[in-house]
C-alpha cells in the first residue's frame, strides 16, 4: 500500500485529542484541541506509523487513501 493522502474525517465521530496518533507518528500528526495532519509530509516514509495510528485511533477518524 502506498499512502497518498491522510486526513481527519469528522463526519460521524470527532477527535477526542487523546494523542495516540501523535505518539505513533509525531512527524505526521500533531494534537492540540484536535488532531491535525502536518503539511508536506512524505507519507511513504511514515507508512507503518500512520497505519498503527489508524488502527489505534479510538474514534476511527483518521482516514487514508
Q: Mind listing the pLDDT tens digit for each residue in 11-60? A: 778 999 999 999 999 999 999 999 999 999 999 999 999 999 999 999 99
> Per-residue DSSP letters for 3-60?
---EEE-TTSS------HHHHH-TTTEEESSSEEEPTT--TTTTHHHHHHHHHH-SS-
Q: What is the CATH number of domain 13-64?
A: 3.30.70.20
pLDDT of residue 36: 96
Q: pTM value? A: 0.92
Q: Is the pLDDT of residue 64 over 80?
A: yes
Task: Give the C-alpha separation, 41 to 29, whole Å.
Answer: 10
Amino acid at each position: 500500500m502506498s499512502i497518498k493522502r491522510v486526513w481527519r474525517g469528522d463526519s460521524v465521530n470527532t477527535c477526542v485529542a487523546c494523542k495516540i496518533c501523535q505518539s505513533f507518528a509525531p512527524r505526521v500528526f500533531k494534537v492540540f484541541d484536535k488532531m491535525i495532519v502536518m503539511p508536506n509530509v512524505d507519507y511513504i516514509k511514515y507508512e507503518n506509523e500512520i497505519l498503527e495510528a489508524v488502527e489505534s485511533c479510538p474514534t476511527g477518524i483518521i482516514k487514508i487513501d
